[in-house]
Structure 1
Amino acid sequence: MKKYIKLVAISIIMIISYNVQAQQVTGDATETDGTTKIGKKEDVSKSSVLNGTIRVIDNKGTKKFLQVKNGITLLTDTTTDGGIISTWQLGGTLTDSTYIDATNRIFALDGIKLLNPTLTAGEATTAAIASTASNASSHGGTGTGWTVLIRDEATGETKKLLATNLITAGRAEFSIAADGNLTVTATGLAMGTSINKISVYRNGAKLRASVDYSLTAEDTITLNVSATAPNDWTTYAGDLIEVQWIY
């Protein structure tokens, strides 16, 4: 009988010791190895008002927790009539690296500010601009460097563009066939391109935009010659006209 009583006493002490070790009433809901305890039966950690957890029980009465982290904020309102209201909302601190796979879906952000970018000389020389990029690429692949995020104003969809394609340039050369010819063909030069983005050279000498030349039609530059000194000039057979533009 005494041996039986000793066994019962030892068992009770072991149970109490286990419960004391398993119970967590302060601190965060993590194991000593860094893994989460949220949802485990032995987890009885308390919720905090902000950025904490919500304690629930399942249909068998097991205690579990809903945890808030990684950019989601928990706000608890205890002043409302009828009890406590807990709200989860976007906003907060990213505690882990986060990737969203937008394959075959539109990822759109409305309300993005339009900035006038500035780049210092140091940034310009150290920036790692991507030389190649693939459609729908994922992080950790073979690509390196950065591309430019752009926004489709019609749909709001966020897309990417190689920095080298952000500004597209064109160039054309045209030899004057006869004295006085004034029309130059620059294939690829779109009507509506700002004259400030078009440069025209005659035999290597820069002509003045809007004064010595103008964009008169798709792919067409018209030279505006002058007979007034000291700006008098004209074209002669064999003159080489070079047109450069960006858009």
Structure 2
Amino acid sequence: MKTQNLSKNFKSLAIGVVLLTGVSLSAQQTTGDVVKQADVDPGTTTTAGAVRVIDNKGTIKYLQAKNGLTLLSNTTNDVTTTTWQLGGTLTDDTLIDVDGNVFGLNGIELISTETASTDATTESDAGTGSGYTLLVRDEATGALKKLLATDLIQSGQEAFTATADQTAYALTGSPILPSYSQVWVYRNGAKLVANVDYTVAASTVTLVENDYSVYGGDVIEVQYTK
């Protein structure tokens, strides 16, 4: 009778040991042998570790945290429960292919009073800087990047006092102007007709004297958005 109880206890202990040991499965690794990471100690939180599990056919399989997954283990009898939690630092490039399925996020806060960031820096961590930036996707690489709100829509205005017969007006700072439909030019407060009374190239507006002439002292105003 004691021998049977001892045998049962030994089997239970062996299964528990098996569940708490293991080798690695590395996220995004597609070639080469997987390097085993250190065994996870019960009751600890780690950004990298290995746990060995056994399926219902008795086959030994492995779970290993890597690439920003946090592996959690517990000290209760329910040692087969392992939680995988996003976080940490990526060690390899990671892409998710939705393959035509919807990928979305719920619970996103709607902002209405926050201001756009003026002090955002590249690759900054949370808590650095203020305001908000916009999340954009690089179509060439698929990489997610951030963009200043002021870089998404830009606008400008500059006024010039013309000399006699002056037709070319180069904007200060050499901003690259958009197409003429997004550039508005006024002569002494009267709007000129786009692509008829003026043309746009790079950062310069050139007047075309159709039924009018430029006189010295005329005020030429240029407004634009892009």
TM-score category of the 2 structures, normalised to the smaller one: 0.5 to 0.7
- Relative distance call for 1:124 and 1:186 in structure 2 (3 A) is farther
| Counterpart selection for 1:239 from 205, 218, 226 | 218
- Relative distance call for 1:112 and 1:21 in structure 2 (3 A) is closer
The residue number in structure 2 matching 1:78 is none
SS at the partner of 1:147? strand
SS at the partner of 1:222? strand
- Relative distance call for 1:125 and 1:35 in structure 2 (3 A) is closer
The residue number in structure 1 matching 2:138 is 151
The residue number in structure 2 matching 1:16 is 8
Name the CA distance, whole Å, in 2 between partners of 1:109 and 1:199.
Answer: 44
Q: Does 1:39 align with 2:18?
A: no
For 1:26-105, list aligned pairs within 5 A: 39=51, 46-47=54-55, 55-56=59-60, 65-67=61-63, 95-101=84-90
Deviation at 1:240, TM superposition (A): 1.3
The residue number in structure 2 matching 1:135 is 122
Q: Does 1:205 align with 2:190?
A: yes
Name structure 2 gaps, 5 residues minimum.
17-41, 68-82, 101-109
- Relative distance call for 1:202 and 1:161 in structure 2 (3 A) is same
Name the CA distance, whole Å, in 2 between partners of 1:130 and 1:48.
Answer: 54
- Relative distance call for 1:110 and 1:200 in structure 2 (3 A) is farther
* Aligned residues of 2:168 and 2:207 also touching (Cα < 8 A): yes
SS at the partner of 1:244? strand
| Counterpart selection for 1:220 from 180, 204, 207 | 204
Name the CA distance, whole Å, in 2 between partners of 1:106 and 1:17.
Answer: 46
* Aligned residues of 2:51 and 2:64 also touching (Cα < 8 A): no
What percentage of aligned pairs have identical amino acids?
A: 28
Deviations 1:21-51 (A, max 9, x none): 8757xxxxxxx979799636xxxx64279xx
Instruction: Report the TM-score when normalising by structure 1.
Output: 0.49
Deviations 1:176-214 (A, max 9, x none): 122x433323241447x3112212122333322112211
Q: Does 1:167 align with 2:156?
A: no
* Aligned residues of 2:135 and 2:146 also touching (Cα < 8 A): yes
Instruction: Report the TM-score when normalising by structure 2.
Output: 0.53
Name structure 1 gaps, 5 residues minimum.
1-7, 25-31, 57-64, 72-93, 114-122, 228-232
* Aligned residues of 2:117 and 2:133 also touching (Cα < 8 A): yes
Name the CA distance, whole Å, in 2 between partners of 1:33 and 1:107.
Answer: 29
- Which residue identity does 1:96 align to in structure 2? Q
Name the CA distance, whole Å, in 2 between partners of 1:171 and 1:196.
Answer: 15
Name the CA distance, whole Å, in 1 between partners of 2:45 and 2:62.
Answer: 15
SS at the partner of 1:165? helix
